[in-house]
Amino acid sequence: MSAEATNPGAPIRRRGRPRIDLRRLGRVALLGPVSRDRLPDAIGHVAEAHRAHHPDADLTVLRRAYVLAESSHRGQMRKSGEPYITHPLAVTLILAELGAETTTLTASLLHDTVEDTEVTLDQVGEQFGDEVRYLVDGVTKLEKVDYGAAAEPETFRKMLVATGDDVRVMSIKLADRLHNMRTLGVMRPEKQARIAKVTRDVLIPLAERLGVQALKTELEDLVFAILHPEEYEHTRAVISAATAAADPLTAIAGNVASVLREAGIPAEVLVRPRHFVSVHRVSIKRGELRGTDFGRLLVLVGEDADCYAVLGELHTCFTPVISEFKDFIAAPKFNLYQSLHTAVVGPEGEVAEVLIRTHRMHKVAEAGVIALGNPYAADSGAQTVEPADGERADPTRPGWLSRLLQWQQSATDPDTFWTTLRADLAQDREITVFRTDGGTLGLPAGASCVDAAYAQYGDAAHSCIGARVNGRLATLGTPLGDGDTVQLLLTEDAASGPSPGWLDHARTPTARIAIAGWLDAHPQDPETVHGSRPADPRPGPQPAPPGSAGPAGRSASALVERSGATVRLAGCCTPVPPDDVTGFTVRGGAVTVHRLACPAVARMEAVGRVPVAVSWGDASECRVTLVAESFGRPRLLADLTEAIAGADAAIISATVEPPSEQRVRHTYTLQLPDAAGLPALMRAMRDVPGVYDVSRAQHPAAVL
């Protein structure tokens, strides 16, 4: 990362400097009087905006890039009738105002040259270096992506991989889309709607995840005006009426500034107006809008500690609305955003929302990854060229994007990747859960313990058997809330794996793709899937019986005379030695072993399935599922667990159904060191006070 991105003393936006106004920037790309036969050297406006963030930047390369872009696009016109050079200039000016570094601005000026002119990538590389060449190539590839309903998922996957390799590629693309949206009025209404929908569904969520709020908010307003013109006009009228009236936030801002001055805390207090979509959302949430609903107070300070000092003063001198407090400094959001959020009650009873952050946090909150500079610039100023394998390790890459790059490699089916991506982008809120080792996990709202397991352990989560949420045992399907502490419990059983039911509770692409991949690699027949989780509709990690291939197939101590066959003990009847058993070949060539008395055997034979001879081998260990029926009472579960442990049986999984008429049903999948000990185990469980029956699991199984 460059010194510009890491130096806390880098220039920041202070009082007196105009705040970012992207709508204005699009109109001033070509300011000043010009003669009819020549284009103005508008690069001066880009240079001025760039120097505001990077006073020592070398502007020579920008001027050379402008000369190449202007000469290459000369004679080309936009549909609006403007010279085409106005587009790359406006895009570059947007990025310059957001604090993009010189390499990004250079690539932005040239981003359409390879696509629309005779300039080649090799020429770009020769004149401006490998970094600029790489960015221009990445943006050129994005221009070829069809985002419509018939979009090629594999092409979009490649686009996101390019974004992950260097987030500056997507930064240029977002600025490009913003300028195009500003000038969309020259197109037919149906084309405006199509472009607006793609912007809403794909590019705005990506801007949110890259933390570029300044681009995201204006894109939202432009899309809102096109897709919902009536609501937009109503919101604009409401905002206009509120602007004409007295602003209660101004008075509260004055009170806050006075309180902080008296406390000796240097701070800048601003009224930050909400954009159109934000006002519209607030109106839907609250109905009638209050005077303070049209904006929020923004308090900017110098150091992180000052943020908490401001919070303390506000909560001391004003009545705080505790439910509105959020600390995104201690636990930053997935898109690098940091700030303290609170709300206080003003002197007249008005509720004002307050954002508290440092100047640097504010810069990152507005510009996201754009504010982080060139992630590949070495300390000496030399630029890192693209490795031979094309892979990069971007230190500024947000965590969600790193996860995306990981799970897209596992999603071999492009349609699966596309569907999962759209679902992931639709998640507009993230929660933070804490691990017991002190780390944190960022998950989408509505995520469960299943998602936490795969987020923390990857494919090792296949062997997860449960969790503790805030210290209490929970199933893997338990939804997690913001701030929960989760401890995932893993088993050493190599044969353990997820059930199809886990997919019902997985919200993250990482979890869904990993579970689906494991299930595809380990096909199971319905008897085994149902029986191995006999009475638990939740995604409890009740592993399937172990199986291994050898000269003769076997599972536990069951043997079949079929070379290489995988053998599974059916969960519908849970056979153990010395039961009389038989087997049937199921999907994938595996053999499922049933007790002869199992109803599934008769159904299999009735449809013409040929039985496979099964015998018990020398192994004494076995796995069995037992169902205990009992009357409800305190400590019943503890006493049953103690009885099982006393019989030297290991609990693989356990399910307790909700009580019904004072009766409770417990289902245990147990590993016994010796099948001969099963009768004694069942007697010990029946001897527990309140237990009136213990039986082997019997579950109906469909014929495959």
Active site residues: 115-116
What does the block give as tokens for 140?
A: 């050129």
Is the omega angle on the peptide bond into residue 578 within 30 degrees of 0, that is, cis? yes
Alpha-helical regions (H) of 591-635: 599-606
Contacts of 335 (CB under 8 A, 6+ apart): 208, 209, 210, 211, 368, 398, 400
The C-alpha angle 71, 73, 79, rounded to 5 degrees, equals: 150
Q: Are strands 622-631 and 650-656 parallel, antiparallel or unpaired?
A: unpaired
Please, is 146 exposed, middle or buried when counting C-beta atoms within 10 Å of its C-beta (0-12, 13-18, 19+)?
A: exposed
Q: Which of 567, 570, 507 lies closest to 534 in space, CA to CA?
A: 570
- 591, 612 contact by CB (below 8 A): yes
- 205, 197 contact by CB (below 8 A): no
- Alpha carbon separation from 222 to 147, 183, 196, 341, 524 (Å, rounded): 18, 10, 8, 27, 50
Q: Which of 502, 516, 499, 519 lies closest to 416 in space, CA to CA?
A: 516
- 663, 630 contact by CB (below 8 A): yes
Q: Give Cα 205 distance to the centre of its chain.
A: 11
- 645, 682 contact by CB (below 8 A): no
- 272, 250 contact by CB (below 8 A): no
Q: Are strands 591-595 and 567-569 parallel, antiparallel or unpaired?
A: parallel
Tokens 């780390």 sit on residue: 439
Q: Are strands 650-656 and 663-672 parallel, antiparallel or unpaired?
A: antiparallel
- Taking the C-alpha atoms of residue 79 and residue 84, their distance in angstroms, rounded to an integer, is 9
- Taking the C-alpha atoms of residue 567 and residue 560, their distance in angstroms, rounded to an integer, is 8
- Taking the C-alpha atoms of residue 531 and residue 527, their distance in angstroms, rounded to an integer, is 6
3-state helix/strand/coil string of 171-195? HHHHHHHHHHHHCHHHCCHHHHHHH
Q: What is the number of H-type helices and E-type strands within the chain?
A: 27, 21
Give me the torsion for CA of 107, 108, 112, 115, rounded to 10°: 40
- 592, 578 contact by CB (below 8 A): no
- 534, 656 contact by CB (below 8 A): no
- Taking the C-alpha atoms of residue 533 and residue 23, their distance in angstroms, rounded to an integer, is 58
